Amino acid sequence: MLFEITLYASLAIFAAGLIYKISNWFRYEIGPDAQGISTSSRISAAARGMISTLFSAKIKTLLRVFLMDVLLQRWLMKRDFLRWLAHICIYSGFMLLLLMHGLDKLITAVLFDEYYSTLNPFMFLRDFFGLVVIIGIGFALYRRLISKAPRPRSTGIDYYAIIILSVIMISGIALEGTKIVSYSRYQEMVEEYSGLGEEETEELRALEAYWVDQFGVVSPNIKGSFENKTLAQGKELHEMSCAGCHSKPQWGFMGYGLATAIRPIALPLDRANVHHLLWYLHFMACFFGLAYLPFSKFFHIFSTPAYLLVDALVEEGRSDPANLITKQAMQVDACTHCGDCTIRCSVAVALDEIPNPNILPSEKLVACKDLLVGKKLSPKRLTRIQEGSHICTDCHRCTDVCPIGINLEYLWSNLDRMLSELGYPKPEAWAREAIGADFDLSNFKEKPLSLTPVDKEFAGALVSSAQASSFSVCFGCQNCTNVCPVVGNYENPKEVLGLLPHEIMHCLALKQKGLAIGSNMLWDCLTCYICQEHCPQGVRVTDVLYELKNLALKHLKEKAA
């Protein structure tokens, strides 16, 4: 009963989730071209595209991509043979288990008249496929946890995938092992299949002896060595009633291995009905995995093949623009979080100093998705995404390396656009406004500066490079300001720039943080180093301005947090 209820409930959630996720492909709007094309026209364009493909020469492309890229995953094999092996192990082992074992009533029993899950080859294959999956999981864990090679960033979604698969596999093996040793399970089978009555004690004893000796059952009544005569009788009874649908459990080698190990505690386990509990755990884990699949990393089982097929067929300039937009929207879901982009990322190295995962393309994509579905993000999160997004140097490496060809660069430029629309543009442009609001220089104009208390911490913050403290030797000659090409570009530079370079150096000597980081001069500095080159006192003016920009951005970051 519970089995049926959970099965149908999880199937219903799975189907609804799948429909919802696929509908997103027709609803996400990425880029300006997507505006004004309705969801319904995108769906009908997709339907037209699919039908016309099926009746055209493109069907060959479709079949080729399906065989080589979807089934055999040639793109992954070319890149990294070990990873391909791990992936193909998990994927093929699990699919075969699902088809032969999970859906046995629907598939295996229909194809084979003689099907019993306890009969060979099915009994052996179940364990064999399970072993293949476990080997794959082993590779995946090794790669994520132990391997010293450039590593992808593992997050909850990756560990969830590994954990749910492991729970399904381990509970399955444990179920098999505890059933092999279970005396109560043995008795159920005897009642059901042997045709022996309670009064036939000698026969019952002989059969039990045979199963204890040969099939690993742990009996509370008998153990140890048996007479050959008893075993021969037991064997005869076994062949008559049992052998037709039960192979030797040794063929289920993983379960049998476990059964051997737990023999000493087999009786208490049986009394506690552990194999029943494991059965619940096993099918509940499977159904949970099924229901949650559309929302987990496993959705890539659908989205990645779908994207690979669509990508092979839909081309810019030749296909319906509505389908191009749908293809772009699919990209966001096609990501398998493999982390190749992050390994290749040119600025990922900064993560150790700027601990913001949004720097990494594989994580930035999650932010992209959240913004696309219209999630309301907190200013704090937006500030973090803004920082991550703008550290990107647009070097295109993530896009070049994506194994399934997601155009990440295109997504990033749209992420920048979305962020700008929300009021989070490039930090340097943003800082000019945001800092201006915090440290309005006009507030300082009319009143004399108070020299106490000074912000001592502020002066200290500048010595992260010894050079920045060089401002203390400034004697106010104004050379820096006089040679500055930015200052020279304006009729009235103070109006545009706020404080000029030499004045900023004065502020530092006076430890006036608000004045020093509130000046527009910081954000309009060309970093051409002419001022620094011309300072007779060796003040490293440009370097100081660089560090003040760092401090200003840090101030804004702390404020957002």
Cβ proximity to other proteins: between 109 and 350 the closer is 350
Q: Between residue 125 and residue 154, which ones bind other proteins under the rule CB under 8 A?
A: 148, 150
Question: How many residues form the binding site for other proteins (CB under 8 A)?
Answer: 46
DSSP string of 264-299? GGHHHHHHTTHHHHHHHHHHHHHHHHHHHGGGSGGG
CB of 75 closer than 8 Å to CB of 404: yes
- Binding of other proteins by 528 (CB under 8 A): yes
Confirm or reject binding of residue 218 to other proteins (CB under 8 A). Answer: no
| Residue in 83, 246, 364, 540 binding other proteins, rule: CB under 8 A | 540
Among positions 107, 350, 418, 510, the unique one binding other proteins when judged by CB under 8 A: 350
547 counts as binding other proteins under rule CB under 8 A: yes
40: enclosing H helix or E strand: helix 39-54
Q: Are 518 and 431 within 8 A, CB to CB?
A: no
Candidates 113-121, 225-233, 472-480, 526-534: pick the segment binding other proteins (CB under 8 A).
Answer: 526-534
- Which helix or strand (DSSP H or E) is residue 438 part of? helix 427-438
Residue 523 touching other proteins (CB under 8 A): yes
Among 168, 462, 424, 447, smallest CA distance to 293 is for: 168
Spatial separation of the C-alpha atoms in residues 462 and 99, rounded to whole Å: 65
DSSP output for 360-384: SHHHHHHHHHHHHTT----HHHHHH
DSSP helix/strand/coil, 403: coil
Least distance to other proteins, CB of residue 388, Å: 11
Work out whether 491 is an interface residue with other proteins (CB under 8 A). no
Interface mask toward other proteins for 417-456; x: CB under 8 A: ---------xxxx--x------------------------
Task: For residue 153, give the DSSP letter.
Answer: P
346 part of the interface to other proteins, by CB under 8 A: yes
Q: CB burial class (10 A; 0-12, 13-18, 19+) of residue 322?
A: buried
265 belongs to the binding site for other proteins (CB under 8 A): no
Query: Closest CB to other proteins among 218 and 392?
Result: 392
CA angle 74, 76, 78 (to 5 degrees): 70
Q: Which of 465, 476, 509, 536 binds other proteins (CB under 8 A)?
A: 465
Give min distance, CB of 548 to other proteins, in A.
10
Q: Report in angstroms how near the CB of residue 416 gets to other proteins at its nearest.
A: 10
**Phi and psi at residue 505, in whole multiples of 5°?**
-65, -40
Stretch of residues binding other proteins (CB under 8 A), selected from 91-99, 164-172, 376-384, 523-531: 523-531
Q: Which is nearer to other proteins, 309 or 545 (CB)?
A: 545
Residues numbered 468-487 forming contacts with other proteins, rule: CB under 8 A = 485-486
Burial class of residue 57 (count of CB atoms within 10 Å of its CB; 0-12, 13-18, 19+): exposed
How far is 504 from 124, CA to CA, in rounded Å? Answer: 79
Among 121, 489, 536, 559, binds other proteins (CB under 8 A): 489
Nearest residue (CB) to other proteins, 58 versus 153: 153
3-state DSSP assignment of residue 420:
helix
Q: Could you say whether residue 201 binds other proteins (CB under 8 A)?
A: no
Nearest-approach distance from CB 468 to other proteins, in angstroms = 9
Can you tell me which of 348, 408, 487, 539 binds other proteins, judged by CB under 8 A? Answer: 348
Nearest alpha-carbon partner for 344 in 367, 326, 329, 362? 362
List the structure tokens of 324: 């191009």
Q: Which is nearer to other proteins, 102 or 518 (CB)?
A: 518
> Which range touches other proteins (CB under 8 A), out of 139-147, 206-214, 242-250, 460-468?
460-468
Burial of 32 (0-12, 13-18, 19+ CB in 10 A): exposed
Show the binding pattern over residues 356-395: x = contacts other proteins (CB under 8 A), - = does not.
-------------------------------x---x-xxx
Residue 542 binding other proteins, by CB under 8 A: yes
**Residue number, 111 or 437, with CB nearest to other proteins:** 437
Burial call 425-452: b when 16+ CB within 10 Å, e when fewer: bebeebbbebbbeebeeeebeeeeeeee
Which residues of this chain interact with other proteins, rule CB under 8 A? 148, 150, 345-350, 352-354, 387, 391, 393-396, 426-429, 432, 464-467, 485-486, 489, 523-524, 526-530, 532-533, 540, 542-543, 546-547, 549-550, 553
